[in-house]
Amino acid sequence: MSDAPPAAPGGDILNQLFSAKPPETPLEMREMLASFAGMINVDLPEVGAFHEGVLVREIDGERVTADIVVPTGKGPHPVLVYLHGGGWICGSPLTHRKLAYRFAEAGYLVINVDYRLAPEAPFPAPFEDCVHAIRWAAEVAHQYGGDASRLAVGGDSAGGNLSAAAAVALRDQPDAPRISAALLIYGVFDFARIGEVPEGMGFPEGPMADLGPKMTQLMVGSYLGADPGPSVLEDPRVSPVWQAEKLPPSHVLVGGADPLVAQAEELVARLRKAGIEHEHVVVDAMPHGYVQMEFFPQARESIAQMVAFLRKHVG
Q: Is 283 helix (H, G, I), strand (E, B) or coil?
A: strand
Note if 175 is an active site residue: no
Note if 157 is an active site residue: yes
| Max CA pair span of the chain | 57
Catalytic residue among 258, 278, 302, 313: 258
Note if 288 is an active site residue: yes
- Edge to edge, the sheet with strand 146-156 lists 49-59, 62-70, 109-114, 77-83, 146-156, 181-185, 250-255, 278-283
Compute the distance between CA of residue 89 and CA of residue 218 in angstroms, rounded to an integer. Answer: 9
- What residues have CB less than 8 Å from 229, skipping those under 6 apart? none
Spatial contact of 262 and 193, defined as CB atoms under 8 Å apart: yes
For residue 188, the one-letter residue type is V
Catalytic residue among 92, 157, 222, 250: 157
Catalytic residue among 251, 288, 302, 313: 288
What phi and psi, each to the nearest 5 degrees, are found at residue 309? -65, -45
Active-site residue numbers?
157, 258, 288
